[in-house]
Amino acid sequence: MRLDKLAENLGDQIELEWKSFLLRPEPKTPNQEKFVEYTKSWLNPDEQEPDADFNVWASNESQPSSSIPAQVAHKAVSALAPDRADDYHHRLLTAYFTENRNISDATTLLDLAEEIGIDREALESVARDNQESFTKMVIDEHNNAIQSNVTAVPTVVFEHAFAVPGAQPVETYERLVERIAEKKAERSPDS
């Protein structure tokens, strides 16, 4: 997607670090009809994002009841196999937006990890043993985002300070990275 393209274009000039932001922080009993109606709004970003594939929810699976399980599972994958964390992140997005799978379901989360080559039993063990700390990390990251006035997904934060809400064209992100680099060079005593 756009940030992947940005990383591809700029290489080691940037470092992407995904942080948790909970769209459904509290588990709720889903209203499937309302949720299906809501997913029709996914068609707008689908038209604007050529590398994404958003589908209106047409699955027999229930909708996710909370964002926390998928976020915690991502923390577990990051701890167990950090080199596979981005793959798992992408797998979660595809499972939810394209395949309409319930990514708050523990079995689904393990299945998705296994699909990208993560050992299911090892992941289950890491997740179980670190459930409390991973959940705290997710909640802390979410709360930090709220305190930093993050209100949209995605929001890209440059230099831990400058937030850009909403998906922007890759060229916009590239211009911002260039401007930040220029400003840093102007302030550098070696200039």
- Please write the tens of the pLDDT for every residue from 89-117: 999 999 999 999 999 999 999 999 999 99
More confidently predicted of 179 and 118: 118
Whether the model pTM is above 0.75: yes
Phi-psi region of 102 (alpha: psi -120 to 50; beta: other; left: phi over 0): beta
Q: Are 155 and 145 in contact (CB under 8 A)?
A: yes
- Please write the tens of the pLDDT for every residue from 27-60: 676 688 888 888 888 887 767 777 778 889 998 8
Fill in the DSSP letter of residue 29: -
Question: Which domains, and CATH codes, for the chain?
Answer: 1-12+150-191 (no CATH), 22-149 (3.40.30.10)
Q: Are 103 and 91 in contact (CB under 8 A)?
A: no
